[in-house]
Amino acid sequence: MNRTADRVSLKVLVHGRVQGVYFRDFTCRKAAEYGLSGYVKNLSDGRTVEVYAEGEKSALEQLISHLRVGSPAASVEEISISWGEYSGEYGSFDIRY
């Protein structure tokens, strides 16, 4: 069976009080826990974090459930989710600055 056939990508924009509250670190730890690759970064508006992740769809769905809640100090107001094809471009999950 082709393992990449079971994999997809995900782009999530998380809006709210999600910068300066360890949200990127929280996301990176959860992504590593689920064996995902990709990145998380703050956007310049000061209230949005972008998450791009690739891996098993079930693991990505678990990540989404954590992103809806966020780190303990975060206050997530809204998230937008876009699914895509798996690219295999990322070897790890990183925080981008």
Cβ neighbours for 32, distance < 8 A, ≥ 6 positions apart: 93
Q: Is 96 a known active-site residue?
A: no
| Catalytic choice (2, 24, 68, 96) | 24
Residues 64, 51 contacting (CB under 8 angstroms): no
Tell me how far apart the alpha carbons of residues 15 and 4 are, in angstroms, rounded to a whole number: 30
Q: Is 47 a known active-site residue?
A: no
Residues 52, 85 contacting (CB under 8 angstroms): no
| Catalytic choice (2, 3, 29, 42) | 42
Active site residues: 24, 42
